[in-house]
Structure 1
C-alpha cells in the first residue's frame, strides 16, 4: 500500500526552506544595498578621493575572502556589511565625478540606477517564476568574467577607452547572466547559503550599475 503523505510533507518542507532562503537573501541584499548607498553618500559628502585600482582590488578580494571564511557564522553578516560598505566608499568618488564632469550627470546616474533596477527585477522575476535551471551557465560566466576582468585591467593600465567601453558592454551581459544564474541556484537548491548568495547578487548589481553608468556617460558626453 502506497503512502504518499510523507512525500507531500517532505516536498512542503523543502519548499518552505527554499522560500526562507530566498527571503533571507533578498532581505539581506536590500539591507546591503542601502548600506552601500549610505557609504557612497558619505564618501561624496566628505569628498573622499578614489582609493585607486590596487587598493580597491585588494580590499575587495580580501573582504570577499573573509566573507567566504565566515559565511556559516554570525560574523559572516558583519563581513558582508564590511565588503558592501567598502564598495560603497569606492563608488562615491565615481558618482561625484559623473555628477560634476558631465552637464547631464544627474540624469546619467539616475538612468543607470533605473536600468540596473529594471534588469535585476526583470531577470530575478523571470528566474523565480519560470523556475528554469540556469546552472549550465556557470562555466561560461566564470570564463567570461575572467576574460572581461583582465581586459578591463588592460584598458585601465594602457588607457584604451574603446576597450573600456567594450568591457563595460561585456559586463552588462555577464552580470545579467550572473543574476539569472544565482537566482536559479537559489530556486533549485544549488546555493544554500544566503550570505554567499547575497554577495554574488550584490556584486552583479554593483558591476551592472557601473557598466551602465560608463556606457550611458559616454553616450551622453560631448566628446
Structure 2
C-alpha cells in the first residue's frame, strides 16, 4: 500500500515537473521565433534607413518613441496587439540604428567594424544562451544588480551625450557590454525556470539586450580603429 502511494506521488510530481518544463519550452520557443522575426525586420528597416540616408531622430524623439512603444507593448502583452507593438518598437529601433551604421561605414575599415560588431554580438548571444540552456543554472540573483546597473549606466550615457564627454561615453559602452551579457543570462534563465511566462516581454528584453550590445561594440570597435 505504501509502495503504491509513493508510486502515485512520484508520478504526480513527475507529471507536474513535465508540465512546467513544457510550458517553459513553449515560452522559449515562441520567444526565439519572435526574436528572429523582429531581428530580421529591424535589420531591414535599419538597412533602408541607412540606404536612404535618413537623419537620426535625435535623443528626445528616440527616448519618447522607445518608452512610448515599450509602454504599449507592456500594456498589450497578453493580446495579439502586443506582438504588433513589438514589431513597431523593433522597427523604430532599427530606424534609429540606420544613421548610426551609416556613420561607422564612413570610417576607414567601416565595413569591417560593423561586421566585427555584428559577429561579436551574435557570438556573445549564442554562447551565453547555449550556456544557460545546457547548464540550467539559475541567474535570478542578478536581477536587482542588473536593474540598478542599467539605470546608472543609462543616466551616465545621457550625461556623456549631453555634455560631450567621450571618455565617459566609452566607459558606458564597455559597462553596457557587460550588463547586456548579464541580461541575456538572466532573461534566458528566467524563461527556462518559469520566472518569465510571457514570450512578448521576453522577446523585447532579449532584443533590447542585443541592440545595446551591438551598438556598444560598434562604439568600442570604432574608437579602437580610429586610434590604430
User: TM-score per shorter chain, which class?
Assistant: over 0.9
Question: Which protein is bigger by CA-based radius of gyration?
Answer: 2
TM-score, normalised to structure 1's length? Answer: 0.97
Q: In angstroms, what is the RMSD of aligned CA positions?
A: 0.9
2:66 to 60, 75, 92: 60
Cα offsets for 1:175-213 (capped at 9, x unmatched): 000000000100111110000000000000000000000
CA distance, structure 1, for counterparts of residue 91 and residue 177 of structure 2: 22
Pairing 1:34–2:71 present: no
Unmatched runs of 5 consecutive residues or more in structure 2: none
2:45·2:94 contact (CA, 8 Å) conserved in 1? yes
Tell me, which stretches of 5 or more residues in structure 1 are unaligned?
Answer: none
Query: 1: CA distance between counterparts of 2:51 and 2:111?
Result: 16
Q: How does 1:1-223 map to 2 (within 5 A)?
A: 1-2=5-6, 3=8, 4-100=10-106, 102-222=107-227
- Partner Cα separation in structure 2 for residue 154 and residue 7 of structure 1: 53
Q: What is the total number of aligned residue pairs between the two structures? A: 222
Q: Secondary structure at the match of 2:195?
A: coil
Write out per-residue CA displacement over residues 128-178 of structure 1, whole angstroms, 9 at most, x where no aligned residue.
111111111011001111110010001001000000000000000000000
After superposition, give the CA deviation of every residue in 1:55-108 in whole Å (9 maximum; x if it has no partner).
1011000000000000000000000000000000000000001101x1100000
Deviations, residues 14-67 of structure 1 (Å, cap 9, x unaligned) = 211111110000110000000000100111121100001111011000000000
